[in-house]
Amino acid sequence: MWYVYIIRSEIKRWYYVGSTNRLDQRIKEHNLGKVLSTKAYRSFKLVFTKKFSLESKARSYEKLLKDKRIEKEKIIRLFENE
């Protein structure tokens, strides 16, 4: 299984979108500061996941969220209003 995920920084209002086939390990890597692009914003909370059977589908959806900010913002608003 492949996952597209969004994590939220617990110190700033900052979100990161990624994809992986090892979700738990990847979130640990973000929180341990092993991911250069997120290191300055740790620690993180997982706020969204979507499961895919194919890597290509997950990467396409990840790209959509990164390229079309409005899509990412819709998802973020859902979780901020809970």
Q: Quick: pLDDT tens for 31-82.
A: 999 999 999 999 999 999 999 999 999 999 999 999 887 888 888 887 766 5
pTM of this structure: 0.88
Domain extent, residue 47, equals 2-80
Identify the burial level of 51 via C-beta atoms within 10 angstroms of its C-beta, where 0-12 means exposed, 13-18 middle and 19 or more buried.
exposed
What CATH number does the domain containing 24 carry? 3.40.1440.10
End-to-end CA distance of the chain: 27
Could you give the number of structural domains in the chain?
1
